Amino acid sequence: MQLYDYFRSSAAFRLRIALNLKGLAYDSLAVNLVTNEQRDAGFLALNPQGLVPALATDSGELLTQSVAILEWLEEAYPEPPLLPLDALGRARVRAMVQAIACDIHPLNNLRVQRYLVDTLGVSEDAKLAWYHHWIALGFAALEQQVGGERYCFGDAPTLADACLLPQMYNARRFGQDLQPYPRLQAIAAHLEQLPAFAAASPEAVAPA
């Protein structure tokens, strides 16, 4: 498999974690978001949305949207499972995945931040206030939703953990105050120690 990847992309980080947890080998193909390679014609031909990640499967299919790809990985490579076995548990995990991937992350994506500054003329301070506001709102709810201090749900990693750690990494990078979220902090501290998560981190995969 080939992952169209960027080391600091939190959506790509989700996939690196899931691929590692499932023990699936992949080649990383870097798409440099800072130099706008995601807007190059060649990449747009693969993914008209101009976003990473995308995953080329062993049979040559090109998949986009990280959560769709996480779900595909779970169906195509069920071991180890990254969703609980019961329907209620699956709904709980998916709710956390969607809180992060649909409600928190899109508001703070690079293209949104660029639009705020370049088109709307918002100051750097106001852009950061926007970022912190939406993270705080999302994390406050997530702090109530998570089930413990080791994993978001249950006693093993799930897709929710694969989404949480990248979002926590991103929040730290942008100077978010994480003190109000002791459970999220404890989960992130635990996940960071796990080899599949550590090997997927931006530091571990950063270009030399």
Ligand X SMILES: N[C@@H](CCC(=O)N[C@@H](CS)C(=O)NCC(=O)O)C(=O)O
Q: What's the closest the beta carbon of residue 59 comes to ligand X, in angstroms?
A: 21
**Of 75 and 86, which CB lies nearer to ligand X in the complex structure?**
75
- In this chain, which of 21, 52, 83, 146 binds ligand X, going by CB under 6 A? 52
Facing residues of 55 across strands? 3, 63
Q: What's the closest the beta carbon of residue 206 comes to ligand X, in angstroms?
A: 15
- For residue 113 the two structure tokens come to 């931040």
Q: Is 185 in the site for ligand X (CB under 6 A)?
A: no
Q: Is 109 in the site for ligand X (CB under 6 A)?
A: yes
Burial degree of 103 (CB within 10 A; 0-12, 13-18, 19+): middle
Q: Is 10 in the site for ligand X (CB under 6 A)?
A: yes
**Of 147 and 176, which CB lies nearer to ligand X in the complex structure?**
176
- In this chain, which of 20, 63, 66, 153 binds ligand X, going by CB under 6 A? 66
Burial degree of 197 (CB within 10 A; 0-12, 13-18, 19+): buried
Per-residue HEC secondary structure of 75-137 comes to HHCCCCCCCCCCHHHHHHHHHHHHHHHHHHHHHHCHHHHHHHHHHCCCCHHHHHHHHHHHHHH
Q: Is 111 in the site for ligand X (CB under 6 A)?
A: yes
Q: What's the closest the beta carbon of residue 180 comes to ligand X, in angstroms?
A: 24
Q: Which region among 60-68, 156-164, 173-181, 193-201 touches ligand X (by CB under 6 A)?
A: 60-68
